[in-house]
Amino acid sequence: MSTPTSEETQTHPTLSRRIAVLGITASGKSTLARHLARLLGVPHIELDGIVHGPNWVDLPNDVFHARTAEALRGHGWVVDGNYSAVRDLTIGQAETVIGSWALLVRPLPCLIRRAAYAAGADRTSPAHTSSA
């Protein structure tokens, strides 16, 4: 992932540095969050990449909470995901919350592709965070 130029960052000096992107499944949360993180020059934290372990087995809530807290340390980030177990960390620390509540009809093809991929995916590495 490329880092934003100084011109790009200066174009948006009033944007928040801690942003939570929420929404329904396959509504574009991760795509939006990734672009915002790049624009701001901050890490993109994808909660799905933290909570899902190998073979799509979810972490216990206390471990998920601790790992999310560690990922959200720092002065800026863009996080995406809708997990009540870490809402105190994501929404609680966010300066801006963005909702992506598209109708399910729009993301349905994406959902089908994602389900097909997940059914055949070998998830040996649970880490899916990226730095800007």
Output the pLDDT for position 94: 95
Instruction: Report residue 13 as tokens.
Output: 């000096």
From 67, 52, 51, 37, select the one nearest 131 (Cα to Cα).
Answer: 37
**Mean pLDDT confidence for 25-34:** 87
Listed ranges 95-104, 109-118, 120-129; the one with the highest mean pLDDT: 95-104
Output the pLDDT for position 79: 97
**Other CB atoms within 10 Å distance of the CB of residue 51:** 22
pLDDT confidence tier of residue 112, bands split at 50, 70 and 90: confident
d(CA 30, CA 9): 20
| pLDDT surpasses 90 at 129 | no
Q: Is there a contact between 78 and 45 (Cβ–Cβ < 8 Å)? A: yes
pLDDT confidence tier of residue 56, bands split at 50, 70 and 90: confident
pLDDT confidence tier of residue 24, bands split at 50, 70 and 90: confident
Q: How far is CA 123 from CA 52, 118, 127, in A?
A: 9, 9, 10
39 burial type by CB count under 10 A (0-12 exposed, 13-18 middle, 19+ buried): middle
Output the pLDDT for position 132: 47
Give the CATH superfamily of 6-120: P-loop containing nucleotide triphosphate hydrolases (3.40.50.300)
The residue ranges of every structural domain in the chain are 6-120
Output the pLDDT for position 111: 67
d(CA 59, CA 62): 8
| pLDDT surpasses 50 at 9 | no
Instruction: Report residue 27 as tokens.
Output: 């509504």
pLDDT confidence tier of residue 16, bands split at 50, 70 and 90: confident
